[in-house]
Amino acid sequence: MQHRIIVLGAGYAGATAAGRLAKRLTREDAAITLVNSEPDFVERVRLHQLAVGQDLKPLPFSEMFAGTGVELRLAKVTGVDVDRKTVAVTDAHGAEELVEYDTLVYALGSGWNDQGVPGTAEHAYEIAGRPGALRLRARLARLEEGQSVVVVGGGLTGLEAAAEIAEACPNLHVALAARSGLGDWLSPKGRRHLRKVFDKLGITVHEHAAVTGVEADRVTTADGTAIPAAVTVWTTGFAVHPIAKTTTLEVTGQGQIVVDPTMRSVSHPDVYAIGDAAMAMGPGGKPLRMSCASGTPTAWQAADAIAARLTGGKLPNAPLRYFNQCISLGRREGVIQYVTADDRAVRAALTGRLAAVYKELVCKGAAWGVANPTLGMPTRRRRVVRERAQAGSAVTALT
């Protein structure tokens, strides 16, 4: 009897986990199904490039997983019953189906977060997903010379979006509204270079400017300042997919699934959560931030733990830590901020053209790693213990 593993979501975390599981387990012993609503991989870290008119190379899953044994099911996840161990899906034709699993890997990720600010949902644009990036792309193409674009949010996504738009659309006036100081978490060298590039690109920066309202032609800050905005791009963080919160899984107030160091749900041992969907702890007891940098290592951890528990192998004990933050500032500039294991900036930073090249290699490497999830790692493909698989109990098999 094959052990049925279902992976929900094929972003960086989900696709990596599915591929790594296929490398760790034999096809006779494990049936791996990857459920995703789109047929190709979305490079989320490049969506600001897509938004300004750059075309990204298609990465179809049919090619990425050819010959691996991973079954791709194109469908939207509409519900999860972790007590009955079923997933409700709806395909592109509207057909509904309940799919049973023995082990579930929940990687539905996150979308944009409007933070409940009035007018944001009605008037703002987002780049947390491909549909949003394409919608913004169409709107930017219709703007006339001199019109204003305001990017709200001074985090990594906001910095990259503002720089990309300013470089690609020099005929527009681009501004950034940040709740705190510009790049204030970076090292002094990183902050200096960021300001230098923003000045060169002509980006107006509104620091310590918390946006409290969005209208069709402006944003308003907490002190009552109105900033003209023909287009508002909202980049103030992510909100996790809402399905987990509707289940009996133990989740945080934001809806992230609480997991142990192997990415296993603390309430349901046959469920693993990875990427933005998981409340996973890093060095110093700090939660991992929502990012590709967190998603891929959590996928490795979960896949290796599942394989180990099914085969009687050794559980993974790799530390989840950070090394740097990579920020593209258009196509020719960047900042690579080196950080401590718990993501605090150190003095060292790489800047300029070399940093842009570094960031490009990181983006390419992240996409390549989805299809090659075991590079540099020892391959162990022990067979699933027959007695456990035939027992049909994921709780027993994964204990």
| pLDDT (average), residues 214-237 | 97
Which tokens in the block code for residue 97? 């189906």
pLDDT at 372: 76
The predicted-structure confidence for 235-255, as pLDDT tens digits, reads as follows 999 999 999 999 999 999 999
Q: Is the pLDDT of residue 393 over 80?
A: no
Rounded Cα gap, residues 385 and 2, in angstroms:
11
Which tokens in the block code for residue 37? 């609503």
Position 368 confidence tier, pLDDT thresholds 50, 70, 90: confident
Sign of the torsion angle spanned by Cα atoms 130, 343, 176, 54:
negative
Which tokens in the block code for residue 235? 């980049």
Rounded Cα gap, residues 163 and 176, in angstroms:
9
Burial state string for 187-212 with b = 16 or more CB within 10 A and e = fewer than 16:
bebbbebbeebbeebebebbeebbbe
Q: Which of the residue ranges 67-81, 121-135, 184-198, 360-374 would you say has the lowest mean pLDDT?
A: 360-374
Nearest to 18 by CA among 27, 8, 28: 8
Q: Is the pLDDT of residue 32 over 50?
A: yes
Position 1 confidence tier, pLDDT thresholds 50, 70, 90: confident
Helix intervals (H) in the chain = 12-24, 47-51, 61-64, 120-123, 130-142, 156-168, 188-201, 292-311, 353-371, 386-391, 394-397
Q: Is the pLDDT of residue 118 over 90?
A: yes
The predicted-structure confidence for 38-78, as pLDDT tens digits, reads as follows 999 999 999 999 999 999 999 999 999 999 999 999 999 99
pLDDT at 159: 98
Q: Is the pLDDT of residue 352 over 60?
A: yes
Are the beta carbons of 235 and 155 closer than 8 angstroms? Answer: yes
Mean of pLDDT over the chain: 92
For residue 333, count other CB atoms closer than 10 A to its CB.
Answer: 23
Give Cβ neighbours of residue 384 (< 8 Å, ≥ 6 apart). Answer: 3, 25, 26, 29, 30, 310, 311, 397
- What is the four-CA torsion angle of 278, 279, 282, 287, rounded to 10 degrees? 130
Are the beta carbons of 328 and 164 closer than 8 angstroms? Answer: yes
Q: Which of the residue ranges 303-317, 325-339, 385-399 would you say has the lowest mean pLDDT?
A: 385-399
The predicted-structure confidence for 254-286, as pLDDT tens digits, reads as follows 999 999 999 999 999 999 999 999 999 999 899
Q: Is the pLDDT of residue 152 over 60?
A: yes
How are strands ordered across the β-sheet holding 334-339? 324-328, 334-339, 345-351
pLDDT at 392: 32
Overall pTM > 0.85: yes
Q: Is the pLDDT of residue 378 over 80?
A: no
Domains of the chain are 3-111+238-321+384-392 (3.50.50.60), 114-234 (3.50.50.60)
| pLDDT (average), residues 336-359 | 97
The predicted-structure confidence for 153-176, as pLDDT tens digits, reads as follows 999 999 999 999 999 999 999 999
Position 374 confidence tier, pLDDT thresholds 50, 70, 90: low
pLDDT at 350: 98
The predicted-structure confidence for 5-17, as pLDDT tens digits, reads as follows 999 999 999 999 9
Position 390 confidence tier, pLDDT thresholds 50, 70, 90: very low
pLDDT at 123: 98
